[in-house]
Chain A
């Protein structure tokens, strides 16, 4: 046993944790999930739901695991008859007014009330003869609906707004059985990070309007990804249904975003489902672009690259993976090349309660990675240099106003009707962030991997593969 650790026993399993650890966290180390509602590791402890009652030897009464710190030699029994009985009673009280409208509730399938009632609740109620309390649905903000009937008053949302977002617009109004979550009469829940209350809500009381009635929790495939909304690099989970991204949720990472993501990132997924994608490689023939196969497209690109010499310019997207950016650099390494990217800027929106967490002004996930690979931010100069370059490669910049006397190669996801890249010699269809695996470097230089959530449309391939294959054909990359 290491020094400075406290040894205790939870459900018969010995655990060693640092002093000051809460029993509920120590139990997680022992592999025991103590049922809880008000406790959340990202929020201050409230101890209001009374759900995490456990028996601790030598304590006169049951203790709440979320507000009891560990002591040396403590013996915790989460499954003691008294503790189970107490939790069952708490569940019975919670269900007095809960409407049990699981069939129409968006939370069904990922609802903690459902889980714990199923796990240790009792089959019936003793309050069947009384009518349930009813309050109408309230509109809290741009993306949040409040269904008071389903609320179990865990106050996670209130504590998030007060202590993490530091914009205390929510409270518990009224008292006793009439209590509900109230919002300041002149305020809206429109804080840039307010959407987190939907994730924090253990039941279906706070709902996202964007996700309302869209899919059931059990139909979703979940993929670890990195948010593309800004350069913060928040860890997210992409929820897909039938190969369509329907929801973005935060994935806990204590070093970056803790348990939260901002609303900008949460809503920044629709473009991943665009239907107007380039599905086949296109080559210029008789003045127009014609669909072809990868072999012909590769042959055209190689002919261009082998036949040209001198200057080359790469205009890249700061949303491309580091792998794709490195492959681009390698492909053009035979030329005297310059690479540049431009970043859309927005307003910075920090989350006050978490240090070094904000929606960053730079609205691109991999600007730092591009910079580290030698791409410059001097986009205007690169555009000017493109005019006289022998080869210009545009990587997923569909609105790039490029003009060149040399050969233009465009690797991208979409191609507008009158985009400048329509003049390209070759158009290579590539996958977007939800359709490939890759790496982003966030503003602190932290490299993070994201994974494929859905298949790419048509013949589209990850940009790193396309450019890597070309570099290999050119003899610029190691043969794998």
Chain B
């Protein structure tokens, strides 16, 4: 016994695809006239509508004093606070007998960019940077030593300020 299929009788404007196609095309072409949001990276890295947040936590930077020496005094707080255990520090003395890091290395692969090192630093020496272009040709280049950290020039993070939680 054949199954009886019920056929709906619909008006012509609903069975024709022309109307829906034109409607879709109109929406598509209307985008040509809207303002552009695409940024031409890498030629263009920020625009007036969008910049990297000043609280961005990227690869580190060591600040230096007037003589160009790292401000770090090797107090040992950043390796202590670091949850990823990515900072290697060996304290020593400089020529004037001041406490100074003999070895200061950050493994950026291990780093989770929490920013605790910047927060804990009593000398305001180590900072996380507002920076994200880190590609290298070899893995070992991702262990930044003191010289490399001091040579970075990108801006440093302001971190989150509890007295100004929304960054206003």
Contacts and interface: CB of A to CB of B under 8 A. Distances in A.
Whether A associates with B in a native complex is yes
Interface of A: 102-104, 108, 212-216, 218-219
Question: Of A102, A214, A216, A218, which is in contact with the most chain B CB atoms at under 10 Å from its CB?
Answer: A216
A216 B99 contact: no
A213 B75 contact: no
21 contacts: A102-B75, A103-B73, A103-B75, A103-B77, A103-B99, A103-B123, A104-B73, A104-B74, A104-B75, A104-B98, A104-B99, A108-B75, A212-B93, A213-B74, A214-B91, A215-B91, A216-B75, A216-B76, A216-B91, A219-B76, A219-B80
Nearest to B72: A103
Contacts of A212: 93
A216 B77 CA distance: 9
B122 A103 contact: yes
A102 B92 contact: no
Given A103-B73, A104-B75, A104-B99, A213 B91 contact: yes
User: Nearest 9 CB-CB pairs, A to B?
Assistant: A103-B75, A216-B76, A104-B99, A103-B122, A104-B73, A213-B91, A103-B73, A213-B99, A213-B93
B92 A213 contact: yes
Contacts, number: 30
Given A103-B99, A213-B93, A215-B91, 12 more contacts: A102-B75, A102-B122, A103-B122, A103-B123, A104-B98, A108-B75, A213-B99, A216-B75, A216-B76, A216-B80, A218-B76, A219-B80
A199 B116 CA distance: 32
Contacts of B98: 104
Contacts of A108: 75
Contacts of A216: 75-76, 80, 91
A215 B76 CA distance: 9
Contacts of B74: 104, 213
A418 B80 CA distance: 45
Nearest to B89: A216
A229 B123 CA distance: 41
Contacts of B75: 102-104, 108, 216
Interface in B68-95: 73-77, 80, 91-93
Contacts of B92: 213
B78 to A, nearest CB: 11
A213 B98 CA distance: 9
A213 B73 CA distance: 10
B93 to A, nearest CB: 6
A146 to B, nearest CB: 14
B97 to A, nearest CB: 8
B143 to A, nearest CB: 18
Question: Of A104, A214, A215, which is in contact with the most chain B CB atoms at under 10 Å from its CB?
Answer: A104
B73 A218 contact: no
A215 B122 CA distance: 18
A310 to B, nearest CB: 56
A215 B89 CA distance: 10
Question: Of B75, B98, B123, which is in contact with the most chain A CB atoms at under 10 Å from its CB?
Answer: B75
